[in-house]
């Protein structure tokens, strides 16, 4: 379970780096493939917001029910942040879709929106990786993890971008990531 969460976080971090690179290109006055940017946000919307975060929410609630919140409210706060992250993702996706449908959105607003989104996502990931997941790992035993796995089973879907089957809808993004990885 934790291995899957850490892997998801690494994939999300990779995509946040893509967004940061695109923001820098926008700041430099260069053209950016906004369809690719929208694909990144679409992936985060579909996978992170509808599978990854709900899985974490079940894990966090299990921990809170078993142990209580010994983390000065951090575990409870992260679950609340998932809702805010989903709203931010939906909003950025809508903005990108409007732009791709020829709506005029000032470049500065798009830059600010993407930057704020990346900061929000990275801050959240950092809290989970550095503080909360190690706490859960120390606090829960093998029986707990077996029970959690049963509870999250309905949320465990194949990753549409990084998974084995790979969703055709993310084919351009997958190709972009493979090319970037190989240095092309």
pLDDT tens sequence across 5-20:
999 999 999 999 999 9
Instruction: Output the DSSP codes for 5-48.
Output: HHHHHHHHHHHHHHHHHHHHHHHTT----HHHHHHHHHHIIIII
Task: Tell me the average pLDDT across 32-61.
Answer: 94
Domain that holds residue 52: 2-181
pTM of the entire predicted model:
0.93
Domain count, the chain: 1
CATH code of the domain in which 151 resides: 1.20.120.520
Task: Tell me the average pLDDT across 43-55.
Answer: 93
Quick check: 166 pLDDT over 70?
no
pLDDT tens sequence across 114-141:
999 999 999 999 999 999 999 999 999 9
pLDDT tens sequence across 77-86:
888 899 999 9
Quick check: 72 pLDDT over 80?
no
Mean residue pLDDT of the chain comes to: 92
């Amino acid at each position: 379970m934790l291995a899957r969460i850490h892997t998801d976080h690494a994939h999300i971090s990779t995509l946040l780096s893509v967004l940061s690179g695109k923001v820098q290109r926008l700041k430099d006055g260069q053209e950016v493939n906004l369809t690719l940017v929208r694909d990144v946000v679409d992936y985060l919307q579909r996978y992170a917001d509808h599978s990854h975060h709900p899985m974490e929410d079940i894990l966090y609630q299990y921990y809170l029910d078993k142990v209580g919140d010994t983390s000065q409210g951090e575990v409870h706060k992260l679950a609340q942040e998932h809702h805010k992250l989903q709203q931010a993702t939906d909003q950025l996706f809508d903005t990108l879709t409007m732009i791709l449908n020829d709506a005029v959105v000032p470049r500065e607003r798009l830059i600010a929106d993407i930057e704020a989104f990346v900061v929000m996502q990275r801050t959240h990931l950092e809290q989970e990786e550095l503080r909360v997941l190690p706490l859960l790992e120390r606090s829960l035993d093998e029986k707990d993890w077996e029970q959690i796995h049963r509870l999250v089973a309905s949320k465990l879907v194949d990753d549409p971008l990084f998974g084995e089957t790979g969703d055709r809808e993310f084919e351009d993004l997958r190709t972009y990531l493979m090319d970037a990885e190989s240095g092309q």
